[in-house]
Amino acid sequence: MAVVRMPLSPPVSRRALKHTRTLTVEAYARDDGLWDIEARITDTKTRIVKLASGERPAGAPIHDLKLRLSINRDLDILAVEAVSDAVPYPGYCDTISPAYQAMVGLNLMRSFRQQLTARIGGTGGCTHLTELAQILPTATIQAFAGDVIDTRDGSSAAGEQQQKPFQLDRCHALRTDGAAVALYYPRWAIKVAEPFQSS
């Protein structure tokens, strides 16, 4: 199958890089059957940054924040660790980590973002750690795909798959009345009725 790449269009003007935000999420299957989801957010600038708390050299992180969630296969959060290795206001920003224990007991697929905001939104948490936490549901589902969550539409000698694959009807491309599902998951495709045309 040919891979079609669709890069961004060329910039319309000369430009200079000023800021880079990097988000990283790594998922680890543990020997005890649980999973650790580790996320990191960094912000760097290409120039010296003058903050109220002092100067930061070009390339030094303004933010370098990490979260580790320990979860089970049902996506329940069992443990949380938050660290702030680089912050704009040392001694202040980096004291909020204990607040993230409020995430314990939440489920990544059951109103997670709303409950996260209710528990540690605004001044109850760090804007950047909370924003980082908000990307974890979809990142974790991606990590679980093919390992914990069956995403195939195949059949086995014992019989056909009984449940609709998890990913169907969760995005535009994989809607059950669409062409991709008709092609790749035909058993789950819903045929859309043709509009009535009078003669």
Q: pLDDT tens-digit profile of 4-60?
A: 788 889 889 999 999 999 999 999 999 999 999 999 999 999 999 999 999 999 999
pLDDT value at 187 more than 80: yes
pLDDT value at 152 more than 70: no
* Cα–Cα dist 153/176, whole Å: 13
pLDDT value at 155 more than 80: no
pLDDT value at 135 more than 90: yes
| All structural domains of the chain with their residue ranges | 19-144, 150-199
* Cα–Cα dist 164/187, whole Å: 9
User: What's residue 58's pLDDT?
Assistant: 97
Task: Tell me the pLDDT tens digit for each residue of 91-133.
Answer: 999 999 999 999 999 999 999 999 999 999 999 999 999 999 9
Burial of 113 (0-12, 13-18, 19+ CB in 10 A): middle
* Cα–Cα dist 181/4, whole Å: 19
